[in-house]
Structure 1
Amino acid sequence: MDNLCFVIMPFGDLFDELYKKVYAPAIEAMGLEPLRADEIYNNRPIIDDINQSIYHAAIVLADVTGRNPNVNYELGIAHALKKEVVILTASPDDVPSDYRHIRYIGYDRTGIDWNRKLSKDIQKTLQQVLLRLKDQNDAQYEPFESDDTNEWNSEEKETIARAMNLGMKFQPDPRSLSHALMRCMGCYVMLDRRDGPVTEWGAAVACLLNEKVHMLINEQQKGHCLRMRSVFFDIYASHAFYVDYLYDSKVLPMYTRQELWRYLRDEFCGQCFEPHIRYVQENFDHDRFNVDQDQYYSLGSLPQERNPICCRDNFYVADISDVYFNEARGEHYYRIDGLLPPWLLGAQPIPDENHWLADWGQKQQRFQIGDTVKFKVKKVYEPKKYDHIDKARNITFSQIEIVSRA
């Protein structure tokens, strides 16, 4: 939508009033259509709707007041897509360090007639941005039709043909040929290359990787969604592609990071592509904006620093991230990459808490770092300080099995 202005901002009574009485009217006065995330009605994961809205927006208006992590995350998406962004803040200290070189509009709620001044500042800025956009090439990206097929060997041509059969659309960025956008299976994937222009073969590989991502979790598995967001082509190391595992707040993910890495890692025409996975807790409810918005727009809905533990077929599933042998007791302990859910702990985990499978009385090491195991929980102990680590919570388990070796 050429006239869409997508608004990124915190939620709450003060910000809701600011949007309705200042931002939306100022945007409409410039002939643009304002849109905020809570005005999107869809049953898809909210992050998909936000990505689509930012992608289609002519301009993005971002209020970074309060250093809201969700706002900064969405602002990063806008800049990755090279969108025209207008930043606003009630405090200069709230502007992320990565964006302080960009001019921003400041406002002071305690000032006289502050809202009228803010509205005028927004309209003046939008006017300048619109003039700049008009001076630029008004033509939309034309879909890339084809590279010279003589440049590709038979294996590369086959890769391109497979991607074209999946409906791949490839749009190089005319401002920088090292960037491009690939669309396939309803997804947009950003492509970047270190040493030159993104090629049709590179877009085809991204398309086939995206197909593999989609095949892992089907539509019947409610509350789970895999989304591929970007591919980075590098001449000095393995190429990298980035995948988000979105899962509903009412469930646990099904697959661990190691499992996803083993499944998604692939090779095309002798070149290796390494997956990088992060977990994002989402709210898949259709009426999510009718509930506690502050709770929804919290750190819990952002990419997490620690992987959540997984659950599949009534077993907990986790990767082993560390091994400790207690010589005095003659038994092994295995740290899992992730935390048991609060309903098992009886409370939210404390900062830096870590969980260990206690193999009581077992002198022989059964697992190693990188193994994936499944188990059932019999007892969970309180966090404690030990000689080798602090805030460790031991877990008595049963029916433990190796899912896959490192």
Structure 2
Amino acid sequence: MPAFSLDPPQTAWCAELRALAAERLRALAEKGEPGHVNRALVAELGQLGLLERLFTSGAVDLCLMRESLAYACTEAETALALQGLGAHPVYAHGTPAQRERWLPRVADGTAIAAFALSEPAAGSDAAALELRAEAGASEPVAEPGGGLPVTAASASAAEPALVAESDGGARWRLTGEKCWISNAPEADFYTVFARTTPGAGARGVTAFLVPADRPGLTGTGLDMLSPHPIGALRFDAVPVSADDVLGEIDRGFRVAMGTLNLFRPSVGAFAVGMAQAALDATLAHTAERDAFGGKLKDLQTVAHQVAEMALRTEAARLMVYAAATAYDEGAADVPKRAAMAKLLATETAQYVVDQAVQLHGARALRRGHLLEHLYREVRAPRIYEGASEVQRGIIAKELYATREAAQ
């Protein structure tokens, strides 16, 4: 695969995004209430046409957007990313009716999306999720805006979760919990992964598009180290129908992993944007700060540390865009590359931001300082969308599978 480099139009676009984030989006971000969806910010992302690009561009463009926005406004970056994460399964696997109803509203920023995979006992081990999609008697599903009512068939506990009906549909009730869900409980719809076949592991999971106003669906916010809302969802026999399925029944794990293979490199791009912001702040500080009879940058220890920060940031950037390019080209090793990109970039950003704080001293810990903000922001990406340990497991699994296939 050729080495990645930006062409002039891409470079200009990145500069434009940084300027937009600094001049227009940051002000909206500052007006938002921590722990709640900033709908004005999301609407502005839609007005600028950035949300629509989630569905019209490839992985490289997604990474360019996330890195550029993260450099100047992490809140705008996260708002954009969460729209993409929650809505991409609808774009990639939804029916024409599902797409027509939700994607235009996601693109213009009037509908908030969420990706509901994690559970209290199934975070990194996504194949162990326990939210149940049980077939049985149910009330009609009332769809706002003229949707047809749904009447569920009954089934005994011993029968399969899928129940065929005379109209060719199927009916389930979702029962259980989701936890650590970004944009919950304020999203307008959720991509929900539920177990339709007990005991089948990853092969028995189905993805559903669940509007937030479905009866039986409730949520609570969690007090987290996060500027955006993260919450828990409770499903008390929430009715869903065949019209709500995303992709194929019992093949929802493919929907989840396909989405994560796209978004994991872009999480790395988010991390690279934060690392670059921390590096640039450190360059400015060490060049201007007087210390020990000279500038801080004149101390060899400091200069070498800054060089190491730059080295690691650039290495992470190259791996991120190599993985994004592989995704856009349909390469066979995308899962491995995506895992490598997320792992290296998020671990690198943690290192770079931490070193930047150290070189800035106490001022970097003052509330409102750029590095104080980045220090809080940089921790979560090493956990969500698969913790660093999970990424190492994916990499090792792919390496051994490649070796076995070659023998």
Higher relative contact order (CA 8 A, sep 6+): 2
Q: TM-score over 0.5 for the alignment?
A: no
Shorter-chain TM-score: which interval?
under 0.3
For the pair shown, which has the larger CA radius of gyration, 1 or 2? 1
Which structure carries more helix by proportion? 2
TM-score normalized by the length of structure 1:
0.25
Which structure carries more strand by proportion? 1
